[in-house]
Structure 1
């Protein structure tokens, strides 16, 4: 199981701040596709951190990892 933390508008859209993905191993790109398919969220502008380290699309996510989906920050 992979734990995914959701922040800002994602938390509001999903109605929860944490979701789980029942997979053993995925790439970040595969994980984002899984989340898009399962929860209909837009992932193209998100930053992804795996175990508190920013991750690239080809990086692996494995069972027990904690993933954070970080939406873009706006302000003025």
Structure 2
């Protein structure tokens, strides 16, 4: 298990009711982590950007202890 910090924005913040949380996960990659969170919070299956330690990253990037992971939903606007 790895202890990480999760940051939530927009619809994900609404789904969780919080903008961040400390979280323990057995996930090895960002993609595995999002799948785990989808089960817990019923997150939407929409294209998102992921960031690890404040830098956009690939969905297959490995997660390490004390990482800060953010999921950023698409932005709509006009």
TM range (shorter): 0.7 to 0.9
Q: Tell me the residue number matched to 1:18.
A: 20
CA RMSD across the alignment: 1.5
1:29 aligns with 2:31: yes
Distance 1:56 1:11, change over 3 A: same
| Structure 2 CA distance for partners of 1:50 and 1:33, relative to 1, 3 Å | same
List gaps (5 residues or longer) in structure 2.
none
Number of residue equivalences: 76
Give TM-score scaled by structure 1 length: 0.87
Distance in 1 of aligned mates of 2:36 and 2:48: 14
**TM-score normalized with structure 2 length:** 0.85
Partner of residue 67, structure 1: 69
For structure 1, the 5+ residue unaligned runs are none
1:24 and 1:63 in contact (8 A); partners too: no
